[in-house]
Amino acid sequence: MTIIPAIDIIEGNCVRLEQGDYSKISLYNKYPFEVAQQFEDAGLKRLHLVDLDGAKAGSVRNWKVLETLARKTSLIIDFGGGIKNEKDVQIVFDSGAAMATIGSIATENETEFLNWVKKYGPEKFFLGADTKNEKIAIHGWQKITGIDLYDFIQKYSVQKINDIFCTDVSKDGKLQGPAIDLYKKIMRKFPELNLVASGGISSVPNLEDLQKAGCSGAIIGKAIYENKISLKELELFQSNT
């Protein structure tokens, strides 16, 4: 199972929000490169980089941070936040991202998104299936749609998009454990999916449970920054999986 540490960016700083609430910001480091370097030094290979300014503005903002991290580390970076048109997609790839992280637009403008998939290939996209009560949540989780989570995954798995991360909104930022039962249910329905868990992860046993549930990866943010899981523990877990 792949450990994917997360860096969320506001005004160039490494921060975390609780449940997507911009009024609940924790500042962790003014220098995202230092954080990314620590992840790389711990033997981690991936990075989930989120442009929170871009997500709020509706267009990519912190591409310079992406460019720096892509140039100065060997981390495989997926980047999201504010990707609303093909110009944004091109900026993300030109700035060094291996994958573009896609959220709301896959719900609100399916035609546009599928045009990108056709042009760049499905393997270039990391699709977010954020959910509350098994309904898709969009716009930083501020809007809960009526779209069924499993219908959403099915629609895009048919398009060969198999790299999906799923956040149970009710779990995010609380460090009270991930939505194991939800992930088990998803994997029963879509056994070929590369499912990455996100939200609530606070311990190595959580990671072991996710692995048993069939998840291929886990995004970890707050647990690292709040010292609930050490980079040494993650390095050891990663080397044993």
* pLDDT score at 175: 73
* pLDDT score at 173: 63
pLDDT along the chain (241 residues), means of 10: 96 83 85 97 97 91 97 98 95 98 94 97 97 88 87 96 92 79 97 96 96 98 93 93 81
Domains and CATH numbers, the chain: 2-239 (3.20.20.70)
Q: Three-state SS across the chain?
A: CEEEEEEEEECCEEEEEECCEEEEEEEEECCHHHHHHHHHHCCCCEEEEEEHHHHHHCCCCCHHHHHHHHHHCCCEEEEECCCCCHHHHHHHHHCCCCEEEECHHHHHCHHHHHHHHHHHCHHHEEEECCEECCEEEECCCCEEEEEEHHHHHHHHHCCCCCEEEEEECCCCCCCCCCCHHHHHHHHHHCCCCEEEEECCCCCHHHHHHHHHHCCCEEEECHHHHCCCCCHHHHHHHHHCC
Length of the chain: 241
* pLDDT score at 138: 86
Whole-angstrom distance, CA of residue 153 vs CA of residue 208 = 24
Give the chain's radius of gyration (CA, Å): 16
Whole-angstrom distance, CA of residue 64 vs CA of residue 218 = 26
Which among 130, 163, 172, 209 is annotated as catalytic? 130
Whole-angstrom distance, CA of residue 208 vs CA of residue 32 = 28
**Ramachandran sector of residue 138 (left: φ over 0; alpha: ψ -120 to 50; beta: rest):** beta
Whole-angstrom distance, CA of residue 83 vs CA of residue 89 = 6
* pLDDT score at 19: 66
Neighbour count for residue 135 (Cβ, 10 Å): 15
Strand order across the beta sheet in which 135-138 lies = 131-132, 135-138, 143-148
* pLDDT score at 23: 79
pTM for the structure as a whole: 0.94
Q: How far is CA 111 from the centre of its chain?
A: 22
Tokens of 129: 């299936």
Tokens of 22: 């911009």
* pLDDT score at 170: 77
Closest residue by Cα to residue 113 from 155, 143, 76 = 155
Angle at alpha carbon of residue 84, lines to 82 and 86, rounded to 5° = 120
- 41 noted as active-site residue: no
Q: Do 196 and 4 touch, CB atoms closer than 8 A? A: yes
Which among 8, 51, 78, 168 is annotated as catalytic? 8
- 8 noted as active-site residue: yes
